[in-house]
Amino acid sequence: MTTLYNPLLNGFHPDPSVVRVGDEWFLATSTFEYLPGIPIHRSRDFETWELIGHVATRPGQLAVEDVPTAGGAWAPTIRHRDGVFHLVITDAMGRGMLHFTAADAAGPWSDGDLILKQDGSGSIDGIDPDIAWGEDGTVYITYSGLTLGGAAQGTHLGIQQVKVDLDRHRALEDPRSVWSGTGGQFPEAPHLYAHGGRWYLMIAEGGTERGHGISIARGDGPEGPFETAPQNPLVSARSTIRPVQNTGHGDLVEGPDGEWICILLGVRPRSMTRAFSALGRETFATPVRWAENGWPEIDPVLLNPRPGTRIDVTFDAPLDGEWIAVRALPTAVSAVEDGRLVLRGTGATLDDPHPMFVGRRQEHLTNAVTVAVDVSTGVGGLAVRYDERFHVEVEAGGGRVTARAVVAGLVQEWTREIAAATLDLHIDSRPPGDSAGLARTSDVFHLGATVDGERLELAQIDGRFLASETAESFTGRVIGVYAVSGEVSVTSWTAEGDDE
């Protein structure tokens, strides 16, 4: 019996898509403005998942260098056919709708081809593309008809579909409307499946917040017409007390021993009213059964976190794939030199769209990160980032150490004068400590520094300000090191956390 851990992937891993190839499963998620883009995780038992690579590892594959916050890599679909992995995705406000291929899911992946309109005038307008093949080999791209640019920006046309010549990456027809769900807002995340002689079209609707859910329809062919399931939504946590909320945007796959599984996104909110989701949208999994009437039934998502983890990083080898940077590859903003991670400031702060920042996803609700830094010739530090307008940091250099909170243009600082240029910086994310359950926040940041063996407690900051509901972000917390000016060297990194 497979144990479904939930989250399946901790931390910022939204919009999951999965494919089974033999006795292995490959899972892709969104990355928005971060690079490397579109991580690929592999499992051989659906319990243990390993990051094996990324789709976008080279400049030009995604045009995220100047996308606005929350632009970039949106909602992949990963599939496998005739020995080739296929991944379709929208590079929102960047290149457009793209198709990538690879012989090995670990990479390298192709440069990515635009999926063009029938007249070749540009990329198909839409998001969350799915790729499927009909019985005769016809390629179908089914997608959410949200227009992202031009005079019609914001217009939503429901779920659209085109047949595509995959050799030329061009639509063979004008888009057709195939279904618009059951009336929920933002019908999106379509996936087409052939099962038991019928074709099923599964979508998300209700928005990716508390109203999120999964609905399904079926027809005799991939083009429909589609009949709406009588029990929709198949999955939703709306108006419930479940610890995992916002469940939706799912993909179906046959798991070990023949059982079916739905992977989907969700959040783990905390506070008295469970209003704040510190880690953003994560990947979850839940069992699926095919009923006698041919419709799938999907169980509610149950919380089942893994044990806590401790990660100790020394910089005697290139950074592994868990490290990400903002609108740039980690190698463009940092370098591993002589056992140190070195960042050289450009004057840009974390308020800038192009900070000299490299980090890792926060994976646990209770979490502590410590870094040893040398700021003898620079200014920089340790930060938790949601985006340019929401971040907290401990910054050292120039004879002082400063804790700082930046919340939508509001800035508060706590500064101590110090003589040392080598010190440890700390950011701990701890439960608010209200045993009565009346806390009005997700967690509390404890910002500090250890100087000459003495830990200085600099500030405590309400964690709700770095939650997806406050920042209104599609991403999640990323904890990293940064440089503002001069050279900042990091000699060690320790992250420890759990989800108790």
| 165 part of the active site | no
H or E stretch including 470?
A: helix 468-471
Give the DSSP H/E element, type plus range, for residue 73.
Answer: strand 72-81
Residue 189 CA to residue 99 CA, distance in Å, equals 16
Separation of alpha carbons 301 and 197, rounded Å: 28
- Tell me which residue has tokens 């012989």: 103
Map residue 150 onto helix, strand or coil.
coil
Spell out a b/e string for 287-302, using b for 16 or more CB atoms within 10 Å of the CB, else e.
ebeeeeeebbebeebe
Q: Using an 8 Å Cβ cutoff, are 113 and 171 in contact?
A: no
3-class DSSP string for 92-128:
ECCCEEEEEEECCCCCCCCCCEECECCCCCCECCCEE
Any idea which residue has 């390993």 for tokens? 50
The DSSP code for 331 is H
Question: Which residues have C-beta within 8 Å of that of residue 101, sequence separation ≥ 6?
Answer: 84, 85, 86, 87, 109, 110
Question: Backbone phi, then psi, for 330, in 5-degree steps?
Answer: -55, -35
CB 285 within 8 A of CB 3: no
Q: Does 188 participate in catalysis according to the annotation?
A: yes
Task: Give dist(CA 55, CA 88) in Å, integer.
Answer: 11
Q: Report the distance separating Cα 161 and Cα 238, nearest Å.
A: 29
Choose the catalytic residue: 188, 393, 428, 443: 188
Burial 20-41 (b: 16+ CB within 10 A, else e): beeeebbbbbbbbbbbbbbbbb
From the list 426, 420, 424, 429, the residue with the least C-alpha distance to 465 is: 429
The whole-angstrom separation of Cα 348 and Cα 415 is 20
For residues 448 and 264, give the distance between their C-alpha atoms in angstroms, rounded to a whole number.
36
User: How many CA within 13 A on the CB side of residue 185?
Assistant: 8
Cis peptide before 353 (omega within 30 of 0): no
Query: What does the alpha-carbon distance between residue 234 and residue 184 come to, in Å, rounded to a whole number?
Result: 13
Rounded Cα distance between 258 and 252, Å, is 13
Distance between CA atoms of 424 and 349, rounded to whole angstroms? 20
DSSP 8-state class, residue 469? H
CA angle 194, 199, 200 (to 5 degrees): 100
Active site residues: 15, 188
